[in-house]
A and B are shown apart, each in its own frame.
Chain A
Amino acid sequence: MSLITNPRRIPKLYRGNAACPGCPIPKELDILIEELGEKAVLVVPASCTTVIMGDTTGMPSTIPVVHSAFAAASPIASGIVRSLRMKGDNDSIVAVWAGDGGTADIGFSAISGSAERNEDILYVCYDNEAYMNTGIQRSSLTPKGAWTTTTPEGKREFKKPMPFIMAEHKIPYVATASVAYPFDYQNKVKKAKQIKGFRYVHLLSPCPPGWRFDSSLTIEIAKLAVETGIWPLFEIENGEFRLTSISKTLIDKKNRKPVTEYLKLQGRFSKLNEKEIKEIEDSVDELWEEIKSYIKQ
Chain B
Amino acid sequence: MQVLKRKSLALVGNHAVAYAVKQAKPQVLSVFPITPQTTMLEKLAEYVSKGELKAEMIRVESEHSAMAAVYGAAVAGSRVFTATSSQGLLYMTEMIYWAGGQRVPIVAAIATRALAEPWTIWDDHQDFISKRDAIWIQMMAENVQEAYDMTLQAFKISEDQRVIMPVMMGFDGFILTHTMERVEVLEDSEVDSFLPPRQFNLIDFSDPVGVGPIATPDEYIKIRYEAKKAMERSKDVIRDIMKEYEKISGRKYDLVECYKCEDADYVIVSMGAWSSDGKVAVDRLRNNGEKVGLLKIRVFRPFPKEEIREKLKDVKAVVTFDRAYSFGSGGILANEIKSALYGNNIPVHSVIAGLGGKDVRPLHFQNVIEDLISGKLEEERWIL
A interface vs B, CB < 8 Å?
A: 1-6, 38-41, 43, 50-51, 53-57, 59, 61-69, 71-72, 74-80, 82-87, 92, 109-110, 112-113, 116-117
Those of B72-97 within 8 Å (CB) of chain A: 72-78, 80, 94-95
Whether a CB of chain A sits under 8 angstroms from the CB of B215 is yes
Contact A113–B68 (Cβ < 8 Å) = no
B interface vs A, CB < 8 Å?
A: 27-28, 30, 55-56, 58-62, 64-66, 68-78, 80, 94-95, 98, 101-104, 164, 202-205, 207-216, 219, 223, 226
Please report the C-alpha to C-alpha distance between residue A41 and residue B69 in the assembled complex, in whole angstroms: 15
A-B contact count (CB 8 A): 193
Among B98, B164, B205, the residue within 8 A (CB) of A72 is B98
Please report the C-alpha to C-alpha distance between residue A65 and residue B30 in the assembled complex, in whole angstroms: 22
A contact residues around B211 at 8 Å (CB): 2-3, 64-67
Contact A69–B95 (Cβ < 8 Å) = yes
Please report the C-alpha to C-alpha distance between residue A50 and residue B213 in the assembled complex, in whole angstroms: 7
B contact residues around A117 at 8 Å (CB): 58-59
Contact A86–B70 (Cβ < 8 Å) = no
Contact A79–B203 (Cβ < 8 Å) = no
Please report the C-alpha to C-alpha distance between residue A38 and residue B80 in the assembled complex, in whole angstroms: 26
Contact A61–B208 (Cβ < 8 Å) = yes
Q: A79-B58, A113-B61 are in contact. Are A55 and B213 (CB under 8 A)?
A: yes
B contact residues around A55 at 8 Å (CB): 213-216, 219
Closest to B206 in A: A38
Please report the C-alpha to C-alpha distance between residue A54 and residue B208 in the assembled complex, in whole angstroms: 14
B contact residues around A77 at 8 Å (CB): 72
Among A3, A41, A56, A85, the residue within 8 A (CB) of B216 is A56
Please report the C-alpha to C-alpha distance between residue A113 and residue B64 in the assembled complex, in whole angstroms: 12
Q: A2-B212, A69-B68 are in contact. Are A86 and B30 (CB under 8 A)?
A: no
Among A64, A67, A85, the residue within 8 A (CB) of B204 is A64
Q: Shortest CB–CB separation between residue B76 and chain A, in angstroms?
A: 4
Contact B213–A86 (Cβ < 8 Å) = no
Known: A2-B215, A39-B205, A83-B75. 18 other contacts (CB 8 A): A1-B102, A2-B211, A54-B210, A64-B205, A65-B210, A66-B203, A67-B212, A75-B60, A75-B64, A79-B69, A82-B69, A82-B73, A83-B72, A83-B73, A86-B28, A86-B56, A109-B62, A110-B62
B contact residues around A56 at 8 Å (CB): 213-216, 219, 223
Please report the C-alpha to C-alpha distance between residue A6 and residue B164 in the assembled complex, in whole angstroms: 23
Please report the C-alpha to C-alpha distance between residue A99 and residue B377 in the assembled complex, in whole angstroms: 58
Among A50, A72, A86, the residue within 8 A (CB) of B55 is A86
Among A5, A63, A78, the residue within 8 A (CB) of B205 is A63
30 contacts between A and B (CB under 8 A): A2-B212, A2-B213, A2-B215, A41-B76, A53-B213, A56-B219, A62-B208, A64-B203, A64-B211, A65-B209, A65-B213, A66-B202, A66-B210, A69-B95, A71-B64, A71-B94, A72-B71, A74-B65, A75-B30, A78-B72, A79-B71, A82-B73, A82-B78, A83-B28, A83-B56, A87-B77, A109-B61, A109-B65, A110-B65, A117-B58
Q: Main secondary structure on chain B at its contact with chain A?
A: mixed
Among A51, A69, A79, the residue within 8 A (CB) of B94 is A69
Contact A113–B214 (Cβ < 8 Å) = no
Contact B95–A72 (Cβ < 8 Å) = yes
Contact B164–A1 (Cβ < 8 Å) = yes
Contact A75–B69 (Cβ < 8 Å) = yes
A contact residues around B202 at 8 Å (CB): 3, 64, 66
Closest to A117 in B: B59
Contact B28–A72 (Cβ < 8 Å) = no
B contact residues around A67 at 8 Å (CB): 210-214
Closest to B214 in A: A55
Q: A83-B56, A85-B56, A86-B55 are in contact. Are A75 and B72 (CB under 8 A)?
A: yes
Please report the C-alpha to C-alpha distance between residue A62 and residue B205 in the assembled complex, in whole angstroms: 9
Q: Shortest CB–CB separation between residue A166 and chain B, in angstroms?
A: 15
Q: A1-B164, A85-B56 are in contact. Are A80 and B210 (CB under 8 A)?
A: no
Q: Shortest CB–CB separation between residue A231 and chain B, in angstroms?
A: 29
Q: Shortest CB–CB separation between residue A99 and chain B, in angstroms?
A: 15
A contact residues around B80 at 8 Å (CB): 79, 83
Contact B214–A51 (Cβ < 8 Å) = yes
Closest to A51 in B: B214
Q: Shortest CB–CB separation between residue B107 and chain A, in angstroms?
A: 14
Please report the C-alpha to C-alpha distance between residue A56 and residue B224 in the assembled complex, in whole angstroms: 14
Among B58, B102, B204, B209, the residue within 8 A (CB) of A75 is B58
